[in-house]
Structure 1
Amino acid sequence: MSESIFIDGELLRSDKHAALRFRPDAGYAPFAREMTAPLTLAEFSASVGVFPILFAHGPEGPAPVALMGLSRGENLFVTEDGSWTARYIPGHFRQLPFFNTEVRDTGKVVLSILPEHDAFSGGADSVPLFESDGAPSAFLANVMVFTRQQYDHARTTRVFCNLLVELELLTLVTSRVKVPGQGARRLRGFAMVDRKKLKALPDSRLAELERNGALEAIHLHWASIRNLEGLAARIAQERGGVPIAPPLTSVSSIAHQLSAPLH
């Protein structure tokens, strides 16, 4: 028996989906209300300057996510026309409406799709999934390579998360994020790696984390938290016209705050 990670997903079959065509300009409108996106370890370095990287509870336990809004149903990086405004797009979104599924009890990994996704609506620029003889098209063959890479990265990330659980390093946090001119938003339900717990580990475990790359990932996770200010600035910019970039303290800004003349 095979299972999809999406309730409305199904295994891709040449006999059933022979007529499907993919429209590459579908955009990211379907994710406009997604507050988080799953991340893999391979994405931490690209995400650290864009999104806060936190841990959320998933079907298999805690898993890293990119935080894209400060309220449920809010994605600050998708415009009304479906354009993505950040310099990085999580791989989870880039692979959809395709994704890999593992067939239970066999270990076999197969390609699945979201058949009702807007990208399958066809159009002049759409590309076929299958050739006339039922063989995968060149497009689909490359998709299979990409989605398998995403799947393998996800499994590696699961090993990392299981280690964090084993070492009891994750702690639930509640944060208050100040939105310029609009008060504060309260962020709940996410976890972070606890600095004190990490420092309390025996040297042998710290050395292990360093050798397997986990320690680097943890530091990238910590460094990404400053992006909460960036999310708050985006909210303020959308509603009040202030710059997207969070304000940085400078001698000039201090002078302006104190209404002091500059000499």
Structure 2
Amino acid sequence: MASAPSLPLFYNGLEPLSSEVHANYKVRPQDTAPFLVGQHAIPVTVDEFPLVQRFMPIVFSVGPEAIPLALMGLNEGVNVFVDEDGKLNETSFYVPAYVRRYPYMLARLRPEAEELSLCFDPTSPTIGAFDEGEALFEGNQPSQLTQNILQFAESFEQAGARTQNFMKELQEMDLLMDGEVSIQPDGAAQPFVYRGFQMINEEKLVDMRGDQLRKMSQSGMLPLLYAHLFSLSLMRDLFARQVQQGKQPQPQFQPAQ
């Protein structure tokens, strides 16, 4: 099992799925996601920008290895879209693929390995040697469920590769800048200022040469940038939700990463 410090968000361990070791394992449905409670920023891929921007602000993490993030809350430890049990409080909502992938993921079992193996988090309550649920294997062959899980994990990896290329282009064009959002609630003496994230520098974008903008439009990159920029208006909606839910933020620096 991989050590916890090297694991990505949500995962407490990784174990390769095996028809020998996990022949009697089943998956049982769960309508809650406890691992989402208190998670305010979720990684997203560029493929998801058009859908995500309808529900959540899209920002970029700080640092040289920046990634796109969907904000489910403005303050660390706050998620306004799930209750204390991890159940969605929205009937119509786009759940990021990163969330839907859990507890599975493709990973290299050894650093030198070329192939990725389908693994799962053994601490997840949704997978195990249960009496009820949908089987992961039929004999020594993966069931249709397992094939679907593998296909989704592969699609996610491909979207992740496209996202890495997208971020590389952004950095090469120097279009990212430090973000800041100031929200002045009624009756508050001072505004709440949020920093610790990156956003597209809209002035630089507008001032780019026509041939560069044309190339970005033809590649599909330009609509993605504007999906991000349009989504930033939802920052105030998140703030209002936090206040409504009694998760009053503190007027101090809050990193969105």
Candidates 208, 219, 231, aligned match of 2:226: 219
2:54 is aligned with 1:49? yes
Aligned amino acid, residue 177 of structure 1: I
What 5-or-longer segments of structure 1 have no aligned partner? 241-263
Map of 1:170-189 to 2, 5 A cutoff? 170-179=176-185, 184-189=191-196
| Distance in 2 of aligned mates of 1:27 and 1:96 | 12
| Distance in 2 of aligned mates of 1:181 and 1:68 | 25
What 5-or-longer segments of structure 2 have no aligned partner? 248-257
Number of residue pairs the alignment of both structures matches? 237
Partner of 1:261: none
Q: Closer, same or farther in 2 for the Cα pair 1:14/1:181, shift >3 Å? A: farther
Partner of 1:193: 200
2:142 is aligned with 1:142? no
Per-residue deviation at 1:26? Answer: 5.0
Map of 1:85-96 to 2, 5 A cutoff? 85-86=89-90, 87-96=93-102
2:136 is aligned with 1:129? yes
Q: Greater Rg, structure 1 or structure 2?
A: 1
| Distance in 2 of aligned mates of 1:194 and 1:97 | 36
Q: Closer, same or farther in 2 for the Cα pair 1:38/1:181, shift >3 Å? A: farther
Q: Report the TM-score when normalising by structure 1.
A: 0.81
Quick check: 2:45–2:163 contact (8 Å CA) kept in 1? yes
Tell me the alpha carbon deviations over residues 188-246 of structure 1, each in whole angstroms, 9 at most, x when there is no partner.
21100101222232322222211111100000000000111110121122129xxxxxx
| Distance in 2 of aligned mates of 1:125 and 1:7 | 24
Q: Report the TM-score when normalising by structure 2.
A: 0.82
Q: Closer, same or farther in 2 for the Cα pair 1:35/1:14, shift >3 Å? A: same
Partner of 2:251: none
Quick check: 2:27–2:136 contact (8 Å CA) kept in 1? yes
2:90 is aligned with 1:83? no
2:44 is aligned with 1:39? yes
Partner of 2:209: 202
Q: Closer, same or farther in 2 for the Cα pair 1:147/1:234, shift >3 Å? A: same
Per-residue deviation at 1:29? Answer: 1.6
2:123 is aligned with 1:119? no
Q: Closer, same or farther in 2 for the Cα pair 1:174/1:122, shift >3 Å? A: farther
Per-residue deviation at 1:184? Answer: 4.4
Q: Closer, same or farther in 2 for the Cα pair 1:145/1:236, shift >3 Å? A: same
Over aligned residue pairs, what C-alpha RMSD do you find?
Answer: 2.5
Q: Secondary structure at the match of 2:155?
A: helix
Aligned amino acid, residue 34 of structure 1: Q
Q: Secondary structure at the match of 1:225?
A: helix
Quick check: 2:42–2:70 contact (8 Å CA) kept in 1? yes
| Distance in 1 of aligned mates of 2:123 and 2:38 | 18
Per-residue deviation at 1:187? Answer: 1.9
| Distance in 1 of aligned mates of 2:149 and 2:187 | 45
2:26 is aligned with 1:21? yes
| Distance in 2 of aligned mates of 1:109 and 1:185 | 44
Quick check: 1:179–1:236 contact (8 Å CA) kept in 2? no
Per-residue deviation at 1:45? Answer: 1.0
Q: Closer, same or farther in 2 for the Cα pair 1:201/1:95, shift >3 Å? A: same
Per-residue deviation at 1:125? Answer: 4.5
Per-residue deviation at 1:41? Answer: 1.2
Partner of 1:62: 66
